[in-house]
């Protein structure tokens, strides 16, 4: 899955918490979110829209954070579904340090091959889809 395909997939399923997401879809969207946050921080600095001291989140950064919150949660849940885990596992991220490490391991692991209780294997759909060349 390409960068643009991953972003399009996540944003078209803005609050879609059902189904499965491939590793590439999750990590491309994570990179996209990171890059958009950097651009927002730069724009906040240029326009002087920081909400507090220097280094704090600005208005543009806050808007970006709110806009990307739901799709980030949704793609995280779908990624957990791909590893045959409930989306509720996302809450383990609230446990300091250990939760983030556990989620990182889950997100890096390959998805279960074939269909699981959350739907068909997203790799099968990607391989079966005709490529436009």
Asked whether the whole model's pTM tops 0.75, one would answer yes
Cβ distance 73 to 90 under 8 Å? yes
Could you give the CA distance from residue 101 to residue 97 in angstroms, rounded to a whole number?
6
Q: Where are the chain's structural domains?
A: 3-119
Q: Which residue has the tokens 């699981």?
A: 116
pLDDT digits (tens, 9 = 90+) for 36-89: 999 999 999 888 888 777 667 889 999 999 999 999 999 999 999 999 999 999
Could you give the CA distance from residue 127 to residue 129 in angstroms, rounded to a whole number?
6
């Amino acid at each position: 899955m390409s960068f643009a395909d991953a972003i399009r997939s996540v944003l078209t399923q803005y609050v879609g918490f059902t189904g499965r997401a491939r590793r590439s879809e999750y990590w491309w969207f994570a990179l996209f979110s990171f890059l958009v946050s950097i651009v927002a921080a730069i724009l906040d600095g240029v326009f002087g829209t920081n909400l507090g001291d220097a280094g704090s989140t600005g208005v543009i950064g806050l808007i970006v954070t709110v806009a990307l919150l739901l799709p980030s949660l949704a793609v995280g849940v779908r990624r957990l579904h791909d590893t045959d885990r409930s989306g509720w596992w996302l809450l383990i991220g609230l446990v300091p340090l250990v939760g983030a490490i556990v989620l990182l391991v889950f997100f890096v692991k390959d998805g279960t091959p074939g269909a699981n209780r959350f739907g068909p294997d997203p790799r099968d759909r990607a391989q079966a889809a005709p490529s436009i060349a």
